[in-house]
Amino acid sequence: MYNPPAFAQDADTSWGIVERAGAGLLVAPTASGLASVMVPVVVEDRRRLLAHVARANPWWREVPEGSEVLALFLVADAYVSPRYYPSLDEQPGAVPTWNYVIAEVRGTLHVHDERAWVESQARALVERHEADRDPRWWVDDAPADYIDKMARAIVGIEIEVTSIEGKAKLSQNREARDAAGVRAALAEGTLVERLVAQEME
């Protein structure tokens, strides 16, 4: 990922992006070319990403064991118009751009088709997303035979992490008044644009 120093994030911040995203796009090579799948993940000790896919999804069969996988985690992105820049009247040499916050994780794929592993991962995923909810949902709220059926319908995915890189492109390369103009304009926009404005604060 092209990541100029002004936009680069340290490891802690990069892992924070992954945690906030909660789900990412896994991209890996197959015999017929690149293939992707969107999955919610559990971060374990910053050394492994744990996920699962539907057994019916061919991704897990087509990507060879031990393949390098690229995982992308996007938490906010929006178009930036030159009209947002107060400096535009004085300095008309400006073009549109895009602001965003993303983390890129690289790692090695391992597939798990063991029932205990899959159920443990699914429970950890539920715990991560239900912990702060009131009322919360528990896996065991569902009938045991239904949980058994669902567990048999998924396959576990483990990404052994080899690197992480975070990037927050949020108008840091513009003068302060232009960055403020972008933030103010996006804060009045769509929900997606408002998320970027929040990231810029």
Write the DSSP string, 35-68: EEEEEE-EEETTTEEEEEEETT-THHHHSPTT-E
Structure confidence by residue, pLDDT tens digits, 72-128 = 999 999 999 999 999 999 989 999 999 999 999 999 999 999 999 999 999 999 999
DSSP 141: G
Domain ranges of the chain: 8-79+95-172
Structure confidence by residue, pLDDT tens digits, 39-67 = 999 999 999 999 999 999 999 999 999 99
* AA identity, residue 73: F
Question: Which fold does the domain 8-79+95-172 belong to in CATH?
Answer: Pnp Oxidase; Chain A (2.30.110)
| Burial degree of 65 (CB within 10 A; 0-12, 13-18, 19+) | exposed
